[in-house]
Amino acid sequence: MRLAYAAFGTETNTFSAVPTTLDDFDRDGSRMERHWEHALAPARDRGIECAGGFHAFAPPAGLAQAAAYRALRDELVASVSKHLPLDFVVLALHGAMVAQGENDCEGDVLRRVRQIVGDRCLIGAVFDPHAHLTAQMIGASDLLVAYKEYPHVDADARANELVCKLLAMHDTGTRPVPAVFDCRTISLYYTNREPMRSLVDRVVAMEQRSGVCSVSVVHGFPWGDVAEAGTKVLVYAGTAEQATRCVSDVGGELVSLRGTTFDAPAALGDAIRLALTNAGRCVLAEVADNPGGGAPADGTWLLRALIEARAADVAYGALCDAAAVAACMRAGTGKRVDLLVGGASSPLSGAPLRVRATVTALAHDVRTAVTGGLDADTGYGDVAVLRLDHNVDLAISTRRSQVFSRSFFERLGVVLDSKHIVALKSTNHFYHEFAPIAQRVLYVDTPGPLRLAFAKLPYRTVRRPIWPLDTEAPALLVR
Instruction: Tell me the pLDDT tens digit for each residue of 327-380.
Output: 999 999 999 999 999 999 989 999 999 999 999 999 999 998 775 544 556 789
pLDDT for residue 158: 96
Query: What is the mean pLDDT of the segment spanning 421-443?
Result: 94
Same domain assignment for residues 213 and 283:
no
Q: Is the pLDDT of residue 75 over 80?
A: yes
Helix/strand/coil for 166: helix
* Cβ-contact 76, 56 below 8 angstroms: yes
DSSP 263: P
Residue 252 sits in a domain whose CATH number is 3.40.50.2300
Same domain assignment for residues 244 and 327:
no
pLDDT for residue 68: 98
pLDDT for residue 34: 82
pLDDT for residue 376: 58
CA end-to-end span of the chain: 32
Same domain assignment for residues 59 and 198:
yes
* Cβ-contact 430, 442 below 8 angstroms: no
Q: Is the pLDDT of residue 454 over 70?
A: yes
Element (H, E) at 470: none
DSSP string over 190-227: -TTSTTHHHHHHHHHHHTTSTTEEEEEEE---TT---T
Mean pLDDT of all residues belonging to the chain: 95
Same domain assignment for residues 411 and 312:
yes
Q: Name, in order, each residue with C-beta under 8 angstroms of 171's C-beta and a sequence gap of 6 or more.
A: none
pLDDT for residue 278: 92
Same domain assignment for residues 234 and 272:
no
Taking the CA atoms of 288, 357, 346 and 322 in sequence, report the sign of the dihedral they define: negative
pLDDT for residue 478: 83
Same domain assignment for residues 435 and 322:
yes
Same domain assignment for residues 281 and 347:
yes
Q: How many folded domains does the chain comprise?
A: 2
Cα-based distances in Å from 271 to 309, 423, 429, 457: 11, 11, 20, 20
Q: Is there a domain that residue 52 lies in?
A: yes
For residues 31 and 374, give the distance between their C-alpha atoms in angstroms, rounded to a whole number. 13
Q: Is the pLDDT of residue 224 over 60?
A: yes
Same domain assignment for residues 210 and 297:
no
pLDDT tens for each residue of 187-212 = 999 998 999 999 999 999 999 988 99
Strand order in the sheet with 212-218: 212-218, 232-237, 177-182, 476-478
Among candidate residues 256, 286, 313, the one where a domain is terminated = 256
Same domain assignment for residues 90 and 70:
yes
* Cβ-contact 453, 230 below 8 angstroms: no
Pairing of strands 421-424, 282-285: parallel
Same domain assignment for residues 127 and 161:
yes
* Secondary structure in 3-state letters for 91-122: EEECCCCCECCECCHHHHHHHHHHHHHCCCCE
Q: Is there a domain that residue 474 lies in?
A: no
Q: How would residue 264 be classed by pLDDT, with cut points 50, 70 and 90?
A: confident
Same domain assignment for residues 231 and 270:
no
Its domain, for residue 298, covers 266-451
For residues 76 and 332, give the distance between their C-alpha atoms in angstroms, rounded to a whole number. 45
* Cβ-contact 297, 318 below 8 angstroms: yes
Q: Is there a domain that residue 432 lies in?
A: yes
Same domain assignment for residues 244 and 310:
no
Q: Is there a domain that residue 219 lies in?
A: yes
DSSP 61: B
The amino acid that residue 129 corresponds to is: P
For residues 293 and 370, give the distance between their C-alpha atoms in angstroms, rounded to a whole number. 15
Using alpha carbons only, give the angle 125, 129, 131 rounded to the nearest 5 degrees: 80
Tell me the percentage of the chain whose pLDDT exceeds 70: 98
Burial readout 347-385 (b: 16 or more C-beta within 10 A, e: otherwise): ebbbebbebebebbbbbeebebebbbebeeebebbbbbb
Among candidate residues 256, 283, 298, the one where a domain is terminated = 256
Query: What is the mean pLDDT of the segment spanning 169-194?
Result: 96
In whole angstroms, how large is the CA radius of gyration of the chain?
23
